[in-house]
Structure formats: C-alpha cells, structure tokens
Amino acid sequence: MKKDRVVIALGGNALQADPKDTTAESQLITAKATAKPLVDLIEEGHELIIAHGNGPQVGQIVATYEAAAGVPTMPFPECGAMSQGYIGYHLQQAIREEMLRRGIHKSVAALITQVVVDKNDPGFKNPTKPVGSFFSAEEAKKLQEEKGYIMKEDAGRGWRRVVASPEPVDVVEAPMIKTLVDAGHVVITVGGGGVPVIDKGNGVLEGVPAVIDKDFASEKIAEILDADYLIILTAVEKVAIHFNKPNQKELDRMTIAEAKQYIEEGHFAPGSMLPKVKAAMKFVESKPGRKALITSLEKAKEGIEGKTGTVIVRE
C-alpha cells in the first residue's frame, strides 16, 4: 500500500463518547480508544497530522471563568489556547501509550497553533457561534454595553455571547509543523480550528474572539503540508443524501460536481455534514491527485484502503 501523508480531522465523538460526561477522566479514556485506529494508520507507515474540535471543552473553560467571577474575565482566544493544550495533552498521552504497546517509537507533539484570519472576513459582520454561559436579558444588555459583546437570545433558554466564524487564511506555525512531520514525528495541530489571529502589520499578531471551523482549518494545514489525503472522521461511516428519511442513500464516492448539486438541494446540515463536505471539496480542488475521505473513526483504516467511507474526488 502507498504510504501517504494524511491529515486527520477528529470529530467530537473522538473526545467525548458520552456527551453528558464532560470530565477530564472521561475524555482521557475516550482518547485512549481513539488512539487505536489512529495508530493503525501509523503502523501502516502513513505520516499523520491530527486536528480536532474543541466545542464542548472551550465552552466549559469559558463557563468556569464566568461562574467563578460572575462575568466573563478570560479573553476567548486564551480559552481556545487552553483547550488546545488540554485536549492535545490527552491525545499525546493516548497515542504515545498505544504506539509503545505496539513497539512503535515516535514522538508525539501537540502544538498551540495560531490560525490567521482576515479582519474583513464577512463572518465578523454577522457572528453566529454561541459561546459560554446563559445570561438574563438584563445581564446581556450590561455585557453589550460594558464589554461590547454581541448577545443573542438562544431558544428561550437565555442570552449568550456569539462570535464570528471566519475562514482560515494561513497557519502561523506551519513551518514548524512541516519540520516535525518531515522528521517522522506525529503532530497534533490546529486544535479547535486554531486560535484565530489577525495580522496587524510587520508580522505582529493579535488574537480575536472567533471560532474557526476545525474541518476548514484541517483542510488549510493539509494544503500547506501538501498532504495526499484529508480524512474527516465523524459519527457516521458514510455521507448520505436524504439523511434520516425512508429513501436515505449512503454514498461510496462523490465527485465535486455531485457534491455541489447535493449542497444546492440541501442534503447536508449546516452545523453538521455541510462544513465537512465543503472542506473535503476544497482540498480535492486545490491540487490534482488529492483525495478526501469522510468516514467514522472506527473505519479510518478500512476507509484509506478503499473498503468503506465516502471518497470525494475531482471527477
């Protein structure tokens, strides 16, 4: 089998098997289970770069600070960096342990990664991503006045802060990531989509309160590292059209043209499968010969062998 450079984007189920149990102990146990299919790929000789989401974890961090102080006290970019370190540490532990169990001796590096976004990105004009705790209307008004937050009512449960979700432009630590991957190390990067930063000029970077979609950040680092494969792991084995309907159809293969048609027809949910399909399309279109795969964590090895999953190709 050809040995590929593979960027893996882990879904939330790879870090929290039980959404109701958000403890660190539970996450580490889940990370150890997640490590097994990842090390399967390493054992096959593939170069692995691992990305992951951080939605529940960064939400916990923000809410903890809010509960302790009564108001938000920790800037959102710093909360994102904390979640990268926390999740990266668990994945480092789990992957290293699984490799040692199999007699594989490689280093695993988890990098706090900054991802450059455009300060003029349209997402900043219409923030949509809720973060942190719920507040009363009075508290929300005060936060808007005193901190300049954008607060929106959330389905009758209270008011929450919303932040932008801009597109990734570049990955600041990309040269370091490439050096580590070229040297044979396993790298965990762009966690939670990376800490979003804007370029203020002369290379000076400033963190901004925003959430970068982890699938798009994974696609960006896959492009930069000239990866062969982008594998987006989620809770289902294959992408489906007419999802959860009697005529549901699972797809083994999807061309760019077909994907565009399915998107126009509204087959993929905006907060679920849509960003995964769009990220896969973007990677495949970026250079001839590149392939993307969407499948479940448990089927990653079979997917890269062409036995399952949904492969996205140019034509």
Catalytic positions: 12-13, 129, 214, 276
Tokens of 128: 């949509």
CB-count exposure of residue 73 (10 Å: 0-12, 13-18, 19+): exposed
**DSSP line for 32-66:** HHHHHHHHHHHHTT-EEEEEE--HHHHHHHHHHHH
End-to-end CA distance of the chain: 23
Query: Residue 76: which region, alpha, beta or left (left: phi > 0; alpha: psi -120 to 50)?
Result: alpha
Contact 161, 72 (CB under 8 A): yes
Q: How far apart are CA 197 and CA 204, in angstroms?
A: 10
Looking up tokens 């992957």, which residue turns up? 95
Q: Within 195-239, where are the H helices?
A: 214-224
Q: Which residues pair with 206 in a beta bridge?
A: 198
Contact 32, 94 (CB under 8 A): yes
CA distances from 86 to 35, 36, 47, 91, 251 (A): 16, 20, 23, 9, 35
- Which residue in 206, 215, 209, 205 sits closest to 239, CA to CA? 215
Q: How far apart are CA 279 and CA 138, in angstroms?
A: 39
Q: How far apart are CA 254 and CA 257, in angstroms?
A: 8
